[in-house]
Chains A and B, each alone.
Chain A
Amino acid sequence: MTTPPLRHRILTASLLTVAALYFLTPVYWLAVSATKNTADLFGTFGFWFAHPHPLDRLGAVLTYDHGVYVRWFANSLLYAGIGATAATLLAAAAGFALAKYPFRGRETVFRVVLAGVLLPGTALALPLYFLFSDLGLADTYWAVLLPGTVSPFGVYLCRIYATAAVPDALLEAARIDGAGESRIFATLGLRLMTPALVTVFLFQFVHIWNNYFLPLVMLSDSRLYPVQLGLTTWTGYADRHPVLYQYTVGGALLSVVPLMILMTVLQRYWRTGLADGGLKA
């Protein structure tokens, strides 16, 4: 392969640098601001440090109100972790069934599920709240966990992927060997679909982690809050209790860092999963 001319490389590098500045500047601002107190947050230049005490500031976020922040964080992990795991397994099963078993009404079922992808989630949150209240599920962990386990997009992805990546001949061979259908799914299906499953998991994890509206509607007990909702309650009474501005910014940084690490480390899986299955619409 020939090396491109130098001016091409310089042009590319400068364009990429400009873009990187755009994407990283707010993150940089957040990192700088998390080390400030409230007065400096409003009173000093945003892109530079003022009396930085990062450890004290972030420590104060973690210990404020009996460490409620830690609890919110754990809740977020719980909602996103368990929800995404369950969603992935359910979607895998459903997608596999839709791909590999012809039955009457299959396409209808798939179309209905697909339409679910297009429904604005926020539109459903309120009726869902009334429904869950009837079932006694509102304001419990289930209220956020259960909706998180349903991923129509995951089913869509899994079906398309299973169609392409799980050969019928292999299934038939397994059947001849006497394997039951559920074992075929649990061993063959899940294994062959792994790249798509990782993608579904990541998608759903981020989806649940970022979902603000559903917990807002469902939860009133602040001990059940995920971290985002908790942070907005802090901004809600920050005017009476200004130190909360500082805690909100610090808390925002702390909440963003783990997800960023996760995204960076797992980038590879986003790509493989998407390339192999998701885009073949």
Chain B
Amino acid sequence: MIHRPLRRRTVLGTAAAAATAPLAGCSGAADRPAAPRRRKKGEKIQLSFWSWVPGIDRPVDLWNRTHPDVHVTVEKVSAVNGQQYAKMHAAIKAGNPPDLAQIEYPVIPSFLLDNGLYDLATLDAARHRTRFVGWQWQQSVFGDGIYAIPQASGPMGLFYRHDLFRKWGLEPPETWDAYESAAAVIRKKGAWIDTFAPTNGNRFAGLAWQAGATWYAARGETWTVHLDDTPTRRVADHWESLVKRKLVKTIPDRQNAWYKDIQTGAIPAWIGASWGDALLAGNAPATAGKWRVAPLPQWRKGGDAQANWGGSTTAVLAAAPYPEDALEFALWLNTDPKSVALLIDGGYGFPGTVKGYATTDLDVDRAFFGGQEYSKVFADAGAHVDTAWKWGPGVDTLYQRLGDAFTRALADGTPFRSVLADVQRATVTDLRNKGLDAVSGT
């Protein structure tokens, strides 16, 4: 058969790539296929950078103007349904990944499984740690390795229609109990306090995070998956009650129908994250001036437990031929005040850097929020995010399973607690299928 040689070639190529890497590992060096090439002085190089962030080209243009030797080309990848990561995984397997990529915190471990990311610790990146928000930096640290440079995070908060809340005699709820009571009042007025979007794993994870859950833990050689833990059950029970009492919609959020409800006031509140300001201002311009931001409701009255939803990093891919220059770009992009200013202007989220901007710089849509210095709410939230939370491999799959299971639960009335147990079991199987050691948390 004619296609034999081709097939073998592919297989051999994969095997060869797999075989050379362990040799480097055996010599005691870090996990890297080959020694990094150092750019000769004055040598001009090209770096490719995959990102989907709108407006990312502006800081990159600035970099290219000020750094003529290292030209960075942005390739915009589609971020629909996680397609960007699908492409990155495929490109890593195929051996033609970009030099740099935009990667969200939860998916970093998935890329480590592919040996896809360059260990920046070998380039002495640890000395830059103090330039970034502590917990964000920690999100890309695994063992002794540092695998990405933080760009932005998404501290969570409660967006609400100030005018409607006042009209209905409501205060932004301080506790989740108060939230449910407010939901009942709002429902009586013909509106819904929010939607429980079954497929929004990110937000559910954020709420579990706030309640004190730890879904993944690495103990020794083993991953412990503990989705079905007490804090997460508490969150699940809460939303199950809201759903059962029909106090929330169950439509997908941040989609056409939701935008419509946000515009009309049919949904006058949203548990969102800092980057939601641009989203609301852009999609519901007619409601300008009527929105405000409050901190997340708490499980304990007077508590200050916060959480994060979203945010991303700039990672250097393992195959990058010039990792030092790539790292330099990643650091510049996320710390240089001019670059950060451009990123803030594009509404990219809460900066990972600690210097180079003032909190009020982030109030891009202050008029939309009736003049409130709303970024202060998120800044306070960001300072109290639980640092014990850790992401593990296969979060994308976990979200998918969670979404599928919640979708079914909404259809057939399966208790939300069974959803947690089912997804936990499935996730352990998934990790084992990836060839990892994994157990269920108890």
A residues touching B (Cβ–Cβ < 8 Å)?
Answer: 38-39, 42-43, 126, 129-131, 133-134, 136, 138-139, 216-217, 220-222, 229, 232-233, 235-237, 239-243
Contact = CB atoms under 8 A, between A and B. Distances in A.
B10 A236 contact: no
B-side interface mostly: helix
Given A222-B76, A229-B78, A233-B80, A239 B254 contact: yes
B94 to A, nearest CB: 3
A242 B279 CA distance: 8
B90 A217 contact: yes
Contacts, number: 86
A94 to B, nearest CB: 16
B77 interface: yes
A129 B90 CA distance: 8
B256 interface: yes
B75 A236 contact: no
B10 A134 contact: yes
A131 B10 contact: yes
Interface string B37-68: 00000000000001011110000000000000
B229 to A, nearest CB: 31
B278 interface: yes
Interface in B378-412: none
Contacts of B282: 38, 239-243
A232 B77 contact: no
B286 interface: yes
Interface string B73-97: 0011111100100010011011110
Contacts of B254: 239
B80 A232 contact: yes
Contact of B79 (A43, A222, A236): A236
B245 interface: no
Contacts of A139: 96
B26 interface: no
B418 interface: no
A240 B78 contact: no
Looking at chain B, what size class is its interface with the partner chain?
35 or more
Nearest to A133: B94
A256 B4 CA distance: 42
A240 B90 CA distance: 26
Nearest to B264: A43
B9 interface: yes
A135 to B, nearest CB: 8
A248 B31 CA distance: 43
Given A134-B13, A239-B254, A222 B279 contact: no
Contact of B91 (A42, A220, A236, A237): A220
Given A39-B285, A134-B9, A236 B52 contact: yes
Given A39-B285, A39-B286, A42-B259, A240 B75 contact: no
A239 to B, nearest CB: 5
A131 B263 CA distance: 48
Nearest to A234: B78
A96 B289 CA distance: 71
Nearest 5 Cβ contacts at the A-B interface: A133-B94, A242-B282, A233-B78, A236-B80, A236-B79
Nearest to B75: A221
A133 B83 contact: no
A168 B279 CA distance: 69
Most A CB within 10 A of own CB, among B50, B80, B286? B80
Contacts of B358: none
Contact of B283 (A131, A134, A217, A242): A242
Nearest to B255: A239
Contacts of B259: 42
A66 to B, nearest CB: 10
Given A133-B95, A236-B79, 18 more contacts: A38-B282, A38-B283, A42-B256, A42-B259, A130-B94, A131-B6, A134-B13, A139-B96, A222-B76, A233-B77, A233-B80, A236-B80, A236-B83, A237-B54, A239-B282, A240-B275, A240-B282, A241-B282
B286 A220 contact: no
A136 B260 CA distance: 46
A200 B96 CA distance: 35
A243 B54 CA distance: 12
Given A42-B260, A134-B13, A237-B52, A222 B90 contact: no
B116 to A, nearest CB: 14
Contacts of B275: 240
Contacts of B79: 233, 236-237
10 contacts: A39-B263, A133-B91, A134-B9, A136-B96, A217-B90, A222-B77, A233-B76, A233-B79, A241-B54, A242-B283
Nearest to A132: B94
Given A43-B286, A129-B94, A236-B80, A220 B256 contact: no
A130 B93 contact: yes
Contacts of A239: 254, 279, 282-283
B283 A220 contact: no
Contacts of A232: 78, 80
A186 B176 CA distance: 78
Contact of B94 (A138, A236, A241): A138
Contacts of A129: 90, 94
A232 B81 CA distance: 11
B260 to A, nearest CB: 5
A240 B54 contact: yes
A131 B285 CA distance: 48
Interface in B333-355: 347
Contacts of B52: 233, 236-237
B27 to A, nearest CB: 28
A89 B283 CA distance: 50
B94 A240 contact: no
Nearest to B286: A39
A233 B87 CA distance: 13
Contacts of A217: 87, 90
